[in-house]
A and B are shown apart, each in its own frame.
Chain A
Amino acid sequence: MENKGLWAFGTRQVVYGAIGAALYGAFSLLTNLVPLPAAGNITFRPAVAVLIFFGIAYGPWVGLLAGFIGNTLGDMLAGWGFYWNWSLGNALMGMIPGLAMLMITNYRNKIDIAKAIGWGAAGVAVGMMVASLTEMMVGGIDLNTALVGYFTPAFIGNLVVIVILLPILMVAFAAVNARRGR
């Protein structure tokens, strides 16, 4: 039941949404011990590259579900609790790169990889901005702290992660697909 539409929501999206969430949760759990300098309770998450990759490879629904459920799982199991605004931010961070799913066809091509990084950066910017600004309401912080203390380190940290790890994941995925004949 192959469904390639951007907003299709079938078996493929259900399964990869779940796998993306579990991977994001498991990798986040591994690195939830590494806080970012100058940030509030924001941790360094190489897992963000996996989230962006799932959005790019399987579409916006998968990115959205993987971001929301994965962040919730990772935070809950690590004892951070549930912060709806950060889960929403992570959902957007996965969903926005998913909008480029149909534009990216060759995972080895440098232009396609650059496009993926660009859409990933847009996802990180929007997702972290929404989470940081809503933290003013949830955490009672001021605008300066939201932008300088939360958004900036989260954006830069996640951007570095996707610039380095996303191309590696894309090239590996191309190899796996070629071997599978898909």
Chain B
Amino acid sequence: MLVSWKYRPRNTFIQRLDPRSRLIFLACVILSLTIPNIWDIRLIFPLFLLTLTLYLLAQIEWKDVRRAWLFIFFLIFFIVGLNGMLSGRGGPTSVMNDTSAPLFTLPVYFPGTTWGFSLEITLVRIVFAITQMTRMLSMAILALPLPYTMDPNIYGVAFRKMGVSDKVSFTMDLAFRFLPTLARDLSITIDAQRARGYEMDSLKGGIVARLRRLAPLIVPVTMQSTVTGEEVIDAMDLRAFGTAPRTWLKDLHFARRDYLFIALGVSIFVAFCVLKWGFGIGEFWIPPALVAGLN
């Protein structure tokens, strides 16, 4: 059985937009940050405010997205943010090779021993962690509402109308539909294995033992999905899938607001590229006032 995302029709500006314009805008925002490789908080923060506004316009109920947000906050603040602050990981070369004087040192030693090391926290890494978190949040809050605000029936036609072939569009359509189903199967399998005494979070054993411990989760879900796949193939073959050019039940039409929305996305992308490659703005930036305050 297919489980759908918690999609609900709402009379909001975001849901009145054509799905293609939303996907193109999302692509523009992500590409604006990743293609010219923007690390300047002065460019990232206004973009974050824009994407936050769009998220709020979607009017998604908190109870629907609470779990997703907890996951994103944990990932962004505790994993990415702390990693960025402690090691500069994932940053541009200027942050990775940071040799500035530390603001303070964090000793990390096993209790009662001299085994361990000291972590040097620098201003560069703190600013980088804030920049990295804002950058990731800007993309996450734009992608997160998609499953809650986009009718699952129009994923396929949206990709088809963007020039992707029928079969690849249908693959994407099915992938979006299968994801919540398989995520639910995974969650049920975790609960079922825990009821049998399975300890997912146990830290015993090395990497090999931990990987082997994942097998009771990965194997049942993967094998069940291969069986489900055969049933879906039979159903699609019975309906002669792929024997002739496909027609789609729903049709999509751009409105004026869609052209304006796409124009906004493309403008952001072009502006970021011009700023980075034309004017050299967009590299990792630290507010001079902060640097001056330290000297």
CB-CB under 8 A from A145, the residues of chain B are: 93, 96
How far in angstroms is the closest Cβ of chain B from A91?
A: 12
Decide: B237 and A11 in contact? CB cutoff 8 A. yes
CB-CB under 8 A from A81, the residues of chain B are: 30, 33-34, 136, 139-140, 143
The interface bits of chain A over 90-123 (1 if a CB of B lies within 8 angstroms of the residue's CB, else 0) are 0000000000000000000000000000000000
The interface bits of chain B over 68-79 (1 if a CB of A lies within 8 angstroms of the residue's CB, else 0) are 100110111001
How far in angstroms is the closest Cβ of chain B from A130?
A: 16
Please judge, given known A-B contacts A82-B30, A164-B211, whether A21 and B96 are in contact too, CB under 8 Å: no
Decide: B211 and A165 in contact? CB cutoff 8 A. yes
Count of B interface residues, CB-CB < 8 Å: 66
CB-CB under 8 A from A41, the residues of chain B are: 80, 89-90
Decide: B171 and A33 in contact? CB cutoff 8 A. no
A139's contact among B68, B92, B221, B236, by CB below 8 Å, is which?
Answer: B92
Residue of B nearest to A137 (CB): B37
Q: Is A70 an interface residue (CB 8 A)?
A: yes
CB-CB under 8 A from B171, the residues of chain A are: 14, 17-18, 21, 65, 69
Residue of A nearest to B87 (CB): A38
Q: When chains A and B are docked, how far (Å) is the Cα of A77 from the Cα of B72?
A: 9
A14's contact among B79, B174, B218, B230, by CB below 8 Å, is which?
Answer: B174
Q: Is A161 an interface residue (CB 8 A)?
A: yes
CB-CB under 8 A from B232, the residues of chain A are: 15
Q: Is B281 an interface residue (CB 8 A)?
A: no
Decide: A168 and B30 in contact? CB cutoff 8 A. no
Residue of B nearest to A53 (CB): B222
CB-CB under 8 A from B170, the residues of chain A are: 14, 18
Task: Please tell me which stretch of B110-118, B178-186, B255-263 contacts chain A, meaning at least 4 of its Cβ atoms lie within 8 angstroms of it.
Answer: B178-186
Q: Count of A-B contacts with CB under 8 A?
A: 180
Q: When chains A and B are docked, how far (Å) is the Cα of A19 from the Cα of B171?
A: 9
Please judge, given known A-B contacts A10-B242, A22-B178, whether A172 and B223 are in contact too, CB under 8 Å: yes
CB-CB under 8 A from A46, the residues of chain B are: 211, 214, 218
Q: Is B212 an interface residue (CB 8 A)?
A: yes
How far in angstroms is the closest Cβ of chain B from A2?
A: 9
Q: Is B226 an interface residue (CB 8 A)?
A: yes
Decide: B92 and A140 in contact? CB cutoff 8 A. yes
Q: When chains A and B are docked, how far (Å) is the Cα of A172 from the Cα of B172?
A: 27
Please judge, given known A-B contacts A81-B34, A82-B27, whether A73 and B218 are in contact too, CB under 8 Å: no
Decide: B34 and A82 in contact? CB cutoff 8 A. yes
Residue of A nearest to B147 (CB): A77
Residue of A nearest to B165 (CB): A9
Please judge, given known A-B contacts A26-B183, A78-B72, whether A15 and B236 are in contact too, CB under 8 Å: yes
Decide: B211 and A30 in contact? CB cutoff 8 A. no
Decide: B242 and A11 in contact? CB cutoff 8 A. yes
Q: When chains A and B are docked, how far (Å) is the Cα of A11 from the Cα of B182?
A: 20
Please judge, given known A-B contacts A35-B79, A41-B89, A180-B230, whether A160 and B207 are in contact too, CB under 8 Å: yes
A11's contact among B93, B227, B236, by CB below 8 Å, is which?
Answer: B236
CB-CB under 8 A from B92, the residues of chain A are: 139-141
Please judge, given known A-B contacts A15-B229, A81-B136, A82-B30, whether A141 and B96 are in contact too, CB under 8 Å: yes
How far in angstroms is the closest Cβ of chain A from B196?
A: 17
Residue of A nearest to B133 (CB): A79
A-B contact pairs, 14 of them (CB 8 A): A18-B177, A19-B229, A22-B175, A27-B218, A30-B186, A35-B83, A57-B226, A82-B30, A82-B139, A84-B34, A160-B208, A164-B208, A168-B219, A173-B223
Residues of B within 8 A of A (CB): 27, 30-31, 33-35, 37, 68, 71-72, 74-76, 79-80, 83, 89-90, 92-93, 96, 136-137, 139-140, 143-144, 167-168, 170-179, 181-183, 186, 207-208, 211-212, 214-215, 218-219, 221-223, 225-230, 232-233, 236-237, 241-242
| Sample of 17 further A-B pairs with CB below 8 A, known A29-B183, A141-B96, A165-B211 | A10-B242, A11-B236, A14-B171, A21-B175, A23-B178, A25-B175, A26-B221, A69-B171, A73-B175, A76-B143, A79-B72, A79-B76, A82-B31, A82-B139, A141-B93, A145-B96, A168-B219
